[in-house]
Structure 1
Amino acid sequence: MLHTTDGVFIVTQTPFADNGAVDLDSIDTLVDFYVEHGADGFTVLGVSGEAGKLDQREALQVAERFIKRAGQRPVVVGVSNASLAQLSDLSARVMDLGATGVMIAPPSGIQTDEELHGYFAEVFRRNEGIPTVLQDFPFASKVAMSVPAILKLVETHPEIGLIKEEDLPCLNKISRLRQSSGRRVAILTGNNAMYLPLELGRGADGPMAGFSYPEMLSEVYRLYRAGRVDEADDVFDIYLPLLRYEAMGFWGVCARKEMMRRRGAIRSATMRTPGPKLSAEDVKELDRLSARVERRLAERRG
C-alpha cells in the first residue's frame, strides 16, 4: 500500500536512441543500474522522464518495460494530463500492467481551492480505487496547493496514499503535513534531492528523485534512518556540487543523462526535441565535477 511506503524511489529517465526512438533495451540496463545502487522502487513517466514527449503508445511501452524489469519492486507511473480522458485511460492500462499506483499533479489553470477539489473529485470518479501519489510540484504544474487543501484532498479521497512534496520552501510544509492529526500518508520528496537530509529530519519517508549517483540517495537515506545523521550529511556533501549541477531543470536532466551514459546505465544521452544539448564547455564542467566526486570517494575509502 502506498501509505506505508518508505525508502528510495528513483525518478527514472526515459532512454532514447541517437535518432530519438525509445530505447527499450536501455530501460533494462537502467533498472539494473538503479537496483545495484540501492533503489527500493521507481517512478516512471515523470517530468524529468520527458513524459510529455511520448505518445500514448510509447508511454505504455515504457511503463510496461520498467514494470517488467523492476520485478517485485514497486513502480509508480506518472499519468498527469490536461485531458482527463487520457489520464484515466493511461491509469487503467498501467495498473493492468502491474503498476503499484499512479502519480497525478493538478493541471495548470487551477486557481482556487474550489477548482482544485472539483478537479480531483472528477479524477477519482474516473479513477476510483486506483492508488495515487499526489504530486505537489508548482514549479512544473503552476498550481499552488496549500497544506489545508492537501489535507482535505487526503481526507476526501482514500486513493491518495502518498504525497510527493516538492514545493519550495519545502521544509515547513513537510512539518505541517506531518503534524496533521488526520489520516497518515507517506511523504517522499523531489527537487532533485537537493534538501534530502533536512527533509528526512522533518519527517519525510524518503526521496522520490533522480541523480546520476543513486547510491548517494540510498546511503544518505539508510544512514539517516540508522540515526547516523552527521555521517549522512558528510556523504551528501561529497556529491552536492554535481547534484546542484543536475538540478537545473531540463538542462540538468540533459547533464544527468550524459552522466548515466558515462556510467554505463544507458547507451545514449539523447533528449527528444525540444530539449537542450550539452556544449563543449558543459562537458568540461561535467568532467571536472565527476572527477571531483570520484576523487573524494577514493579519499573516503582510504
Structure 2
Amino acid sequence: MNGSTADERLHGVFPIVTSPFHADGSPDTASLRRVADYVVRAGAQGCVYPAIASEFATLADGERESLTAVVAEAVNGRIPLVVGISAETPERSAALARQAAGLGAAALMIMAPRSAGTAADGVARFLDAALGGVALPVILQNAPPPLGSSLPAETVVEILRQVPRIAYVKEEVVPCGQRISALLAAAPGLAGVFGGAGGRFVLDELARGAAGSMPACEVTEIHVALYAAWRAGDRRQARDLFNRVLPLLNMGGVFRTPVTKRALLRRGLIAHPRHRDGNPELDQQDRAELDAILDDLAPLMTTSTRLAA
C-alpha cells in the first residue's frame, strides 16, 4: 500500500465544509466562501469538500463542480484540500477526480456506492475504475448506511491490498476506535487512518493512533485546540475541551446538518440554515437547547466571523 514520509502525511483536523443554501434551496456561494475561509483561519490542518456533511448526494452535477471550485478558490492553497469524489458510477467519480487534480487538491476521498456491493473484489473494481489515472493520494471512506455500506474491517484490508493507491482510510463505522486499531495492525503500510462520526470518539481514536479527525465545521477552532493539546501531551486539556464540546457533538449526532447550519448561522457565517437532506428539523426547544450549548462554548469560539452585507 502506498505510504508517505512522516512530514508528508496528512494529519490533524480536516473539517467537512458544509454546503450553504439560500432560502429557496439554491446554492449560496458567498456563504460557502466565508465558511471555507473560516475553517482556514481557525487553524485546521486541512479541509474536505464535498462529503456526507456537505450534502453531496443532493448536489446536481453542475452544482457540485462549481461549488468545489469555489471552495478551492477560497482555500487558495493555504491548507490541504481533500476533494470528495464519491458518486454512483466510476465514470462520474473519475471526472470529479480529474477536476480535483486541476484545482490543486491535495488528496481525493471516495466511498464506493452501495450498488458496488460489500464484497472486496466488487468494491475494488469500482475504485480502480473510479480513480482513473489521477496521481493524488486517496482516502477510502467507510461509513454506515444510508450512503455507506459499513464494510467489515477485514473487507477494508482486502480492498487496500487490491487497490494500493489508497493511502488513507476514514473509518466511521462504530465502534470506530476498535476498527482503527484493527486497520493499523493489519495494514501497516497505510499512511494513516482518520476518524469521522462528527468527532464524537476523537479521544479514543487518537489514543489508538489515528492520524486525525474529520468533524463538522461549525466549531473548527475547538477541534483544533483539542488536537493541539493532545499533540502537546496535555491529555487533561484535551479531555476538558472534549467534555465541553460533547453536548454539541451529541446533538449533531441526532440532527446532523441542521445543527451545523444553525450554529454557522448564529456565528454569522451563513445567511440561511436551509438544508436539502432528510435530517430532522430543529423545533423551538431544540433551537433553545442549541443556543444554550453555543452560549457555553462561546469563550472557546475565538475565530472572528462576520456576515458580509
Alignment of 1:37-56 (within 5 A): 37-56=42-61
Q: Quote how far apart the aligned CAs of 1:276 are.
A: 4.1
1:292 corresponds to 2:289: no
Higher helix content, 1 or 2: 1
Work out whether residues 97 and 108 of structure 2, in 8 Å CA contact, stay in contact via their aligned partners in 1. yes
Q: Distance in 2 between matches of 1:273 and 1:231?
A: 35
Query: Which one of 69, 84, 89 corresponds to residue 64 of structure 1?
Result: 69
Alignment of 1:130-149 (within 5 A): 130-149=136-155
Q: Which residue of 2 aligns with 1:158?
A: 164
* Equivalent position amino acid for 1:263 in 2: R
Q: Which residue of 2 aligns with 1:85?
A: 91
* Equivalent position amino acid for 2:125 in 1: G
Alignment of 1:1-150 (within 5 A): 3=4, 4-72=9-77, 73-109=79-115, 110-124=117-131, 126-127=132-133, 129-150=135-156
Work out whether residues 197 and 220 of structure 1, in 8 Å CA contact, stay in contact via their aligned partners in 2. no
Work out whether residues 10 and 210 of structure 1, in 8 Å CA contact, stay in contact via their aligned partners in 2. yes
- Give the structure-2-normalised TM-score: 0.88
Q: Distance in 2 between matches of 1:131 and 1:89?
A: 16
Q: Which residue of 1 aligns with 2:249?
A: 243
Cα RMSD of the aligned pairs, angstroms, is 2.2
**SS, match of residue 294 in structure 2:** helix
Distance 1:252 1:181, change over 3 A: closer
**SS, match of residue 163 in structure 1:** strand
Q: Among the aligned pairs, what percent are the same residue?
A: 25
Distance 1:152 1:24, change over 3 A: same
Q: Which moved more, 1:207-216 or 1:270-279?
A: 270-279
* Equivalent position amino acid for 2:285 in 1: E
Q: Which residue of 1 aligns with 2:267?
A: 263
Q: How many residues align?
A: 295
Q: Distance in 1 between matches of 2:80 and 2:301?
A: 30
**SS, match of residue 140 in structure 2:** strand
**SS, match of residue 10 in structure 1:** coil
Work out whether residues 189 and 199 of structure 1, in 8 Å CA contact, stay in contact via their aligned partners in 2. yes
Q: Which moved more, 1:288-297 or 1:99-108?
A: 288-297
Q: Quote how far apart the aligned CAs of 1:254 are.
A: 0.6
1:184 corresponds to 2:190: yes
Per-residue CA deviation, residues 244-263 of structure 1 (Å, 9 max, x unaligned), is 10112xx3211210111111
Work out whether residues 2 and 131 of structure 1, in 8 Å CA contact, stay in contact via their aligned partners in 2. no
Q: Quote how far apart the aligned CAs of 1:283 are.
A: 1.3
**SS, match of residue 48 in structure 2:** strand
Instruction: Give structure 1 regions of 4+ aligned residues with deviation exceeding 6 angstroms.
Output: 295-298
Per-residue CA deviation, residues 156-208 of structure 1 (Å, 9 max, x unaligned), is 32321211111111111111222236413221110000011111000001111
Q: Which residue of 2 aligns with 1:279?
A: 283
Q: Distance in 1 between matches of 2:217 and 2:68?
A: 20
1:226 corresponds to 2:229: no
Distance 1:280 1:29, change over 3 A: same
Work out whether residues 44 and 63 of structure 1, in 8 Å CA contact, stay in contact via their aligned partners in 2. yes
Per-residue CA deviation, residues 212-231 of structure 1 (Å, 9 max, x unaligned), is 21112111111111111121
Q: Quote how far apart the aligned CAs of 1:94 are.
A: 2.1
